[in-house]
Structure 1
């Protein structure tokens, strides 16, 4: 399941390349969240899935939706729209595993919440490998105060959302949980979309990007991320995101003929080694009970 998640999540920047020219960020995301909520609703009805019974659970799921959907995706897509390259955005968001580990080390009191020395080594190796992969794509003058702010919002949003879900969201069915998250994200993105002046052009590329975003990235990728966070340790789960930029670079090379250097290949291998150290048995904190 982790490797499937990485492959699915890595297509996000590829989809952005196809769809971004034909829609503003929050207009596209509003369509994505609305259609995703509709798909989950139909799925829930057909499968007769139970909704969370406690109001607090609804609130916690809504908070995670605000951070992990509207905050993270809104920040990343807005940064790309404002001129930041996909590799640069990936590098910024790729700092999440280290940010998560710093938070856990700072506030964790119990032994199971501590980040071990071997995990720290793996995190640093993963960060170094990530820098090798996307470092060559950093363009001079590409980063501005505006798009850097958007990218940072995306980074902090997914980090906070991951930690919040692990701490407050009780195990429940991923379909009803995802539907609540999508509706909460839509409540934030839709008003922002109404402020955007760029029209949405339903070009075939946009339709394809939207279909992939809903059916694969949201119903598949977001659901897998929810399950991984629910069943695993936060540090181990977020370390998997180190693998996303290298996989994205490989996909861009295969699909678009973008450069793929020896340094990038070395970075991919270094990143895989780092993630292996973080997630290896005996080094990661105990896993939460699966539902």
Structure 2
């Protein structure tokens, strides 16, 4: 039986598996805001991303070596490439855009259009064709995201290339996602893949951080809380659930859940930082839920 058939059989036997994974994915994906909010006041973004990826990779390393199949050099090379794309270029591109004064709301909006790019790529690359209903659901979800993000949108005064960087980072992650879904020959566990990817990212982020100064972490409580949150939830939970879901379900279905990250991020901000909630946010959440349901349901 092929990997695809095994994945389909596993998913069909457990009808509650996708709702559970989708909920965990939304929580993990939206939680990155919290860790960055805590730690970014204490260190540069590149230094923050260096420690996030380094600690993630080092924690996973003994498990990657002891649990799972033996990792071949070819598999390590492939996962290192995914680390460059899905960790360094994706996270680093958005971080650099923010440092260049691209408004955070605009960066978040472009990042949250990732499922749309994946939906476009899934047919020519994977042969996973979306139905008319799923395309309608995708359009509705995008409208919901726009409603949620509208109040925070402005265009700022950043250089033109920085705006293009945000689009490029999103597209790079979309390409990495469909390629990860397509490669069925690499029999590597998710924790092994994530270990290699984060360690690859840490090397590149470390080089970038060195150009800005020392790699020493700030010894403050907020930085420690932020890094712990980013490692445990925004990296381990978000990436592990995302890659596991890609192995079990169509890539467009998995990515559609990310449309719900903006309204959930607003809830994080309200609960932890007392940021206000508006009627537009709830309206956008309702619209997005309808779109995601139409896109993801069987």
- TM-score where L is the length of structure 1: 0.87
CA distance in 2, matches of 1:23, 1:258: 23
| Residues 36 and 230 in structure 2, CA contact (< 8 A), matched pair in contact too | no
Task: Give the direction of change, closer, same or farther, for the CA distance of 1:35–1:223 in structure 2 (3 Å limit).
Answer: same
CA distance in 2, matches of 1:67, 1:132: 29
Name the stretch that deviates more: 185-194 or 263-272.
185-194
| Residues 89 and 169 in structure 2, CA contact (< 8 A), matched pair in contact too | yes
Map of 1:289 onto structure 2:
none
| Residues 144 and 285 in structure 2, CA contact (< 8 A), matched pair in contact too | yes
* Aligned: 1:139 with 2:157: no
Q: Describe how 1:12-91 pairs up with structure 2 within 5 A.
A: 12-44=32-64, 48-91=66-109
CA distance in 2, matches of 1:44, 1:57: 13
Task: Give the direction of change, closer, same or farther, for the CA distance of 1:58–1:273 in structure 2 (3 Å limit).
Answer: same
SS of the aligned residue for 1:190 comes to helix
User: Over residues 175-210 of structure 1, what are the superposed CA-to-partner deviations in whole Å (9 max), with x where a residue is unaligned?
Assistant: 111111112212322211211248753321111111
In the alignment, structure 2 segments of 5+ residues that lack a partner are 1-20
* Aligned: 1:128 with 2:140: no
In the alignment, structure 1 segments of 5+ residues that lack a partner are 282-291
| Residues 109 and 149 in structure 2, CA contact (< 8 A), matched pair in contact too | yes
Compute the displacement of 1:108 (Å): 5.1
Task: Give the direction of change, closer, same or farther, for the CA distance of 1:50–1:259 in structure 2 (3 Å limit).
Answer: same
SS of the aligned residue for 1:21 comes to coil
- TM-score where L is the length of structure 2: 0.85
Corresponding residue pairs, total: 276
* Aligned: 1:207 with 2:224: yes
| Residues 100 and 158 in structure 2, CA contact (< 8 A), matched pair in contact too | no
Task: Give the direction of change, closer, same or farther, for the CA distance of 1:260–1:142 in structure 2 (3 Å limit).
Answer: farther
Map of 2:280 onto structure 1:
263
Map of 1:4 onto structure 2:
24
| Residues 103 and 156 in structure 2, CA contact (< 8 A), matched pair in contact too | no
| Residues 58 and 199 in structure 2, CA contact (< 8 A), matched pair in contact too | no
| Residues 57 and 195 in structure 2, CA contact (< 8 A), matched pair in contact too | yes
CA distance in 1, matches of 2:284, 2:157: 22
Task: Give the direction of change, closer, same or farther, for the CA distance of 1:130–1:117 in structure 2 (3 Å limit).
Answer: same
Map of 1:99 onto structure 2:
117
| Residues 11 and 248 in structure 1, CA contact (< 8 A), matched pair in contact too | yes
| Residues 97 and 242 in structure 1, CA contact (< 8 A), matched pair in contact too | yes
Map of 2:6 onto structure 1:
none
Name the stretch that deviates more: 229-238 or 82-91.
82-91
SS of the aligned residue for 1:22 comes to coil
Map of 1:194 onto structure 2:
210
| Residues 181 and 251 in structure 2, CA contact (< 8 A), matched pair in contact too | yes
Compute the displacement of 1:57 (Å): 2.1
